[in-house]
Structures are given as C-alpha cells and as structure tokens.
Structure 1
Amino acid sequence: MNDTAIDYAAVFQALPGILALLTPDLVYADVNEDFLRVTGRTREQVVGHHIFDAFPENPDNPSAKGMRNVEASMRRVLATGERDTMALQRYDVEYPDRPGQWEERYWSPVNAPVLGPDGKVRLLAHRVEEVTELIRARGGPSGTRTRVLEAELYTRARELQELNDRLRQAHAREREVALALQEAMLPARRQVRHQAVAVRYRPAVGALNVCGDWYDLVDLVGGNRLGVSVGDVVGHGLPAACVMGQLRSALSAASRVAAGPAQALDVLGRYAHVVDGAESATAVTTFVDFDHHAIAYSSAGHPPPALLHPDGRVEFLDKATDPPLDARPDPIPRPQAETGFTEGATLVLYTDGLVERRYEDIYAGLARLADSLVAHRHEDPETLADAVLLDLLPSGGATDDTALVVVRL
C-alpha cells in the first residue's frame, strides 16, 4: 500500500466498537457506524451537537450520573493531555423517537487526547464498550449484582493494563536516557596511546535493567604505562548511570596521580562515601607497565581480571581483593599485588554480568571465561572480545549489564 493513500475516514467508520470524536467544547465532530447503531441515533442527531444536547441526563433519576461523569473525565483529559479510563457507568438513554422514555444502559468509556502539532488537545477520542447485556444476562437483583461486579472487575483489569502500558513506556524512555548517558560517560578507546585494546559494553535486556557498569582507560604519568579499570554500581536506571559516571571520573583522576592501584581505590572509596547510591559499588584497577612487563592491581569486591599468557595459561589476578567501596566505616589501605607478563599476553577486565549466573557458583563462570580465552587466544583483541561475549552471554541477552576490556600486552 506504499503507493495508495489510506482513507482514515473510512477506517474510522469501519472500526468495531463505539467510537466518537469531540471538539474541546464537547461537541461531536464525528461518530462511527457502531456508535449510531448502539445509541439508536442518526448522524444528524449527534454530529454538531453538544454532548448534553445529544444525550441529556434523565431529570427524573438523579442517580443516573453517567453523562456528568463522562464530561468530568473529558475535562480531565483536556487539562492534563492524558488518557482517562473510566469505571463502569450507568446511563439513562432517552429513546430518540419517544421523548421522555428512558432506557437503562451500562457503558465502559475511555477518553483519550488527539494532539495537534503544537502539542495541544485538538480532539477527544471517546471509546465505549457496551456491557448492558452482560448486566442483564441473569436478571434479578442478585444476578444483576453479580454481573455488575464482573463488569467492574473487567473494567479494573483494563485500567491496570493501561497503567502497565504507561509504566512500560516510561521505563523505555528512562532506559533510552540511561543508555545515552552511559555512552556519553564511557571513554573512547582512542583516548589512550596503546592501540591494541578492544572495549565492549552490552546493556541488560529489559526496560528496567539498565545498570551502572563502567570501564576506564587512562595513560599514566611516568613511563610507558596504562591504567585499566572496570566497576559496577548497585542499582538500575538513571540513578545507577549517574553514580557510575561520578565514580568513573573520580577513579580516572585518582589514577593519574596515585602511586599505585591500591592508592587510587583508597581515594575512590573515600569519594564513594559522600556519593548517594555508591554504597557497595565494586571496582578493580590495574596499572600496566610495558617497560618492565609488570601489572600492579587491586580490587574492591570485583571479579578478578584474567591474564591470558601466550602459552595458553590463564591467570586470575585475585591476590589483592578487598571489600566493595564504602563497605567499612573507617577505611584502611587496600591491598595491592603485582604479576609479570611476556609480550603477547592478553589482559581481560570485565563486570559480573559476563560470568555470574543465578543459582550457579561464580567459579563455573570463571572457568567458562578461561576456556573461551584459551580457545580464541590467537585472535586479535577485537575478534577475541566478540568471541568471548558470544561464548558467555545468553543468546537472549543477559539480565545484567556487561562491560569488557581486552588489552594485548
């Protein structure tokens, strides 16, 4: 149908269900065929008429407040620009050909705004579900009460569904903002001199699962040295992404002036103490000295980096592990360890989304990582990074973020 214009007026008339369009003055602008059929009115009796002129209230039955409730709902839509789902309403509808005679009807309405280019409400879309026969099905007072309750439950279920739809939309918007924020805060690989580096970030699946995983690469002062770090903030969404940005920036700055990775984490821990949401965040940082073929490292509650040696041996750097950031009321100096490497080795830092799985020991994930690194040890960093993600992440996506840094030494 790319070459055929859609006749939306015909579509509106053909849509099943009771549908009407009203102006902001609550005058009927258009109604569909089902609306006319159910209400027993002609187009001339409705279109161009105010809602109360087309459907007046029954002056002899003050309890029939359906039309007044509909008007109040439409006023809310006009004021807020948001959809309003109403509870089941009872109406007294006057027979158009028998003035003064009224029929009891039960309708379940929804009113939604139709916005113009300026964002203002130009029309009101009024949709109604006819449930009168459902109410009358069993007859008698007890049967009527039962059917009214059933209809009320149906209406409430629909309201909950629409609320869930709104929440999903809000969460999707939050996810987009959080991902954009993370992308803006995470450093580019080209910011460091060392070129044999691959970085990957994979967000968790699901609208709510944008987390606070991060990585950092920084050229260190003095000699041919590189600082490589990863971290993980507890929580999800925008708050976690904001905390992530603060901690990454703080560690990046501290690494440039610190004597070693332990001192950099000491500074980060003190900073985390004054950042709301940084409690129990984890991080690991490594200082790679290419001139002396040595790696100094320190970990604050984070999974250990992996060092893949050229001969295929995998060494996990787990000799300097300490509690997460801000875990102690009175912080003490963190431990630091050092290991050597030969040219052609590969350093891999990652967050727990890569190796941790629910109901599984962490060592099973570390073993999978080691097997994958050995299987692809001859690949360049970019290819190796992709292969590790393919081997370790679930095919449908992980429920936790994953950050990965691969450095060929």
Structure 2
Amino acid sequence: MAETAIDYGAVFQALPGMVALLTPDLVYADVNEEFVRVSGRSREQLIGKYLFDVFPDNPNDPAATGMRNLEASLYRVLATGERDAMALQRYDVEDTARPGEWHERYWSPVNAPLLGPDGKVVLILHRVEEVTELIRARGGPSGNRGRARVLEAELYTRARELQELNERLRQAHSREREVALALQGAMLPAPRQVRRHRTAVRYRPAVGALNVCGDWYDLVDLVGGDRIGVAVGDVVGHGLEAAGVMGQLRSALSAASRVADGPAQALDVLGRYAHVIDGAESATAATTFIDCDRHLITYSSAGHPPPVLIHTDGRTEFLDQATDTPLDARPDPIPRPQAETTYAPGATLVLYTDGLIERRHEDIDKGLYRLADALRDHRDQDPETLADTVLSELLPHGGATDDTALIIVRL
C-alpha cells in the first residue's frame, strides 16, 4: 500500500482537548478547534493576541491566582526548556458576550517546550484539560448534585488554603531572598576601578526559588609593581548556606593572592582551606595574576570554565592550559598547574561562571563558542557596555537556571 502523507495540521485541529501553540512572548500562534469551542473565543480573538490580554485574572477577586500560576509555569518552561505540568487550577473567565461577567472554570494545564536547532524554546505547546463539569457534576440526579456541591466546596476550600499557604511561603521566601542579597552585597566587592584599568562586574541570580549567592568574584591589587588579581568562583547550591561558604572562600582566596607567589599557590592554599569547610565540596575557582608592566597574565583554574582573553586584533584565546580538579577534590592536595600568556595594551580579559555558557541538553563547547563570538564582535565597546551586551546575547529569555557572575577588565 502506498505510503500516505500525514496532514499534521488536520491532526492538530482534531486533537481532543484544548491545545494551543504560544510564542516565547506568550502570544497565540495557533489553537485547535476544541480550544476555540471550550474557551468561547474565536480564532480572531486568539491568534496574535497576548495570552493574558485574552485571559486576565478577575480584577474583582484579588485572591484569583490561576493566571498568575499559569504565567509562572510558562516562564519556567522558557527558562529551563523542560515540560511543566500544573496542578488543577481554578480560573475566572470573562464572558465575551457579557463584559464584566465572570464564570468559574477548572482547567488542568500542561506546558511543553518545542526547541529549535540551537536548543532554545521557539514555541510552547499549551494543553488544557477542561474538568469544570466533572467538578460541578450538575447534570446528575439530585443526590449526585448534592454530593457534587459538597465536593466542590471542599475542593474550593482546599484550593483557598493552598493559595494562602503559597502566599505565606512566598513572603517567607521574599524575606530570605532579601537577607541573602544583602549578605551577598556585603561579601562581594563593589564595582570599582582597579588602578588605571577599566573594569565591569555583573551578577545575575537564577530564576525561581532563592537561587542567589552561589557564585562570587574578586578584584585585588597585588604587591610588587603594577599587578592585579582577578578571580571568580562557584559554590554548589544556593541560598544562605551557599552564601556563607562563598564568603569564606572568596575572603580566603583574596588574602592568599596577596602573599602567594602565583595563582597556582593561591589555589593550593584555598583548596586546603576548602577541605575543612562544610559545603565547599565540588566548589570551583579560576584566578589570574596580571602583570601590567610586563603585559603578562599568569593563571590557574580549579575545575572552573577558562577565562577568555580578547586580543586587540580580535583573536580570542581561552586560558585553558592550567586546569585542574575542583578545590576539595583530592584528600591530599598536590601542587596545581599554572600557565602564562602575553597581551598587548587594549586587550580585554573576561572571567565568568558557568551560568553564562551552560544550557541543558547542550555541549558546553557551544556556549564557549557563543561567548567567544559575542566578545569578538563587540570588543570595541567599553567594559560596562560590553558586559550588558554579553548578558543580553547569552542569557536565555526569561533568565538562566543558574547564577551568573561576569568580570571584564580592559588591560
């Protein structure tokens, strides 16, 4: 029998249940026939329209959270590139024929990403199961209707209790986040000039949860001529516990760098210190000593992504010739390697953490190539502008799922 081509457009329209395709800007790209029927909206009222313009929260009910919960789910999909199944949600949906009149609906949504060749989310498949009639059961005998009303009241009460619990958790989370951010600000050096060099630093927390204070950076003046030290590090985990570990490691490396013979010796000291700190397991760091008189960079890395040197001719050089294990990887530490490279005045040195380059389901080399391309294409920008450009081009829409620290020094 001859193979018959499948009309996937017709399949999409015939799918049981409400199904829509959303752009990364949460605009309807397409909907199936069931979505039109159940939602009570025509295709013209849906296609090309922003989802939350079509389905806003009920302004008459401040406790209505269905649409806000849906928005959070969709942004999680955009940020992580992974499917997100939501719990049963209660929505108030406005009657298009009677503006201002709202009807209670119960929908169970699932949001799944459709990825492009570059691994980025190009569409979101938004599937909704309509269970309002099941919850209400209004079409049955009177006894069933009574039990249905009791069940509906119980479900509604539980939903309200869950909403109140979520609100209390959100408030507690907000306070913890404020404490963590204040702690981070106290422990990380403020953006500043290092001697005569122009520098820019950026820190971007991950989306969702607390997700702050895992990454750190440092800029120090070194003794003996025109020398500076630039370092970054990454502590596994997030929140206040990670913030405490981060502060200890940053301070220890800052002190060690001022007396060490080179970056390898500074990381040797830091590794021994990390061995006695709970929570420092698998922490990484990279540090560079820059001799501005000799135009020489000496560097060493403890399991961290390599710094990048952008030469004045546009050539990008990854400083990856002295990479070793993370800080606390060996019970008995051995001397770490270090390497050197030269530069011409006007070159740019960039250190960063893995949140800038790593993406789920993607080889890390792709992220490194993206970073090198962005730095090469915009190397003539001043450090502050370049830092913003790099974050804009490399961080995913909606934010990254890991913290990101970035340091740029114009040499």
Match of 1:381 in 2: 383
> Structure 1, residues 118-138: CA drift from partner, whole Å, max 9, x if none?
xxxxxxxxxxxxxxx999x96
CA RMSD of aligned residues (A): 2.4
Structure 1 Cα separation of the partners of residues 275 and 375 of structure 2: 36
Letter in 2 for 1:204: A
Say yes or no: does 1:192 pair with 2:194.
yes
Equivalence map 1:8-407=2 (5 Å): 148-190=150-192, 192-407=194-409
Return the offset for 1:384: 1.4
Structure having greater relative contact order (Cα 8 Å, sep ≥ 6): 2
SS at match of 2:195: coil
> Structure 1, residues 258-293: CA drift from partner, whole Å, max 9, x if none?
111011111111111121211111110000011111
Structure 1 Cα separation of the partners of residues 248 and 193 of structure 2: 19
TM-score of the superposition, structure 1-length normalised? 0.64
TM-score of the superposition, structure 2-length normalised? 0.63
Structure 1 Cα separation of the partners of residues 198 and 241 of structure 2: 33
Return the offset for 1:300: 0.8
Return the offset for 1:143: 7.2
Match of 2:13 in 1: none
Task: Rate the CA distance shift 1:408–1:191 in 2: closer, same or farther, 3 A.
Answer: closer
Structure number with bigger Rg? 1
Return the offset for 1:148: 4.2
> Structure 1, residues 56-95: CA drift from partner, whole Å, max 9, x if none?
xxxxxxxxxxxxxxxxxxxxxxxxxxxxxxxxxxxxxxxx
Return the offset for 1:221: 1.1
Structure 2 Cα separation of the partners of residues 387 and 150 of structure 1: 52
Letter in 1 for 2:263: P
Letter in 1 for 2:387: A
Q: Any conservation in 2 of the 1:191–1:218 contact (CA below 8 Å)?
A: no
The number of aligned residues is 278
> Structure 1, residues 242-269: CA drift from partner, whole Å, max 9, x if none?
2111111110001001111011111111
Return the offset for 1:151: 3.6
Letter in 1 for 2:236: V
SS at match of 1:200: strand
Structure 2 Cα separation of the partners of residues 338 and 324 of structure 1: 20
Q: Any conservation in 1 of the 2:193–2:199 contact (CA below 8 Å)?
A: no
Return the offset for 1:372: 0.7
Q: Any conservation in 1 of the 2:229–2:287 contact (CA below 8 Å)?
A: yes
Structure 2 Cα separation of the partners of residues 341 and 241 of structure 1: 35
SS at match of 1:190: coil
Structure 2 Cα separation of the partners of residues 154 and 134 of structure 1: 15
Structure 2 unaligned regions, length at least 5: 1-59, 62-135
